[in-house]
Amino acid sequence: MLCYTTRQFKDAKDLPLCSELDSPHVFEVFRRRAQTQGPTKGGDMSSQDLHYWADLTAILTFVVGVYGYLKYRYGLHEKFKKLEEYLRSEKLKGENKGQRSPLRIVSDVGLTEDEAIQASFRNPRIGRRVVPNARGLADDILFEYLRDK
């Protein structure tokens, strides 16, 4: 930042003293100068303007963050509801127990495996069934619609 060391320069009246910049209240120095010099000329910004813009950007950042979070949560809710409806309709067909593998859910519903697993833990109407292999260890997981709880 430009500053000058002595007040002997008449043309440097808009620049602060370098010793004033070392103080912790630099904005206070600029605010006092803006008040004593009168209204700002076109293009000049006072410290009041800077505070206004800083406050406005802080508020807008918060609003955009809340909007993004709510949009994300709404998207998850819609995906989970879509999975529940899919499993309910598969169970109502009566062809089998309505159990579907994660790969089938990925292809039919459009969820990732992780999202399907999250939905099964968050929704009490989506159940998880483990399919054991010949040795009795878990081989696959199936999702199914459970009756309304």
Amino acid 1: pLDDT:
46
Residue corresponding to tokens 């292999």: 133
Q: Which two tokens stand for residue 133?
A: 């292999």
Question: Is residue 136 classed as helix, strand or coil in its secondary structure?
Answer: coil
The 10s digit of each residue's pLDDT in 3-46 is 555 554 445 555 555 555 555 555 565 566 666 655 555 556 67
Where does the pLDDT of residue 48 fall: very low under 50, low under 70, confident under 90, or very high at 90 and above? confident
Amino acid 62: pLDDT:
97
The 10s digit of each residue's pLDDT in 79-114 is 999 999 999 998 888 777 888 889 999 998 888 999
Backbone angles phi, psi at 4, to 5 degrees: -130, 160
Q: Which helix (H) or strand (E) holds 38?
A: none
> CA–CA separation, 29 vs 104, rounded Å?
67
Partner residues linked to 130 by β-bridges: 141
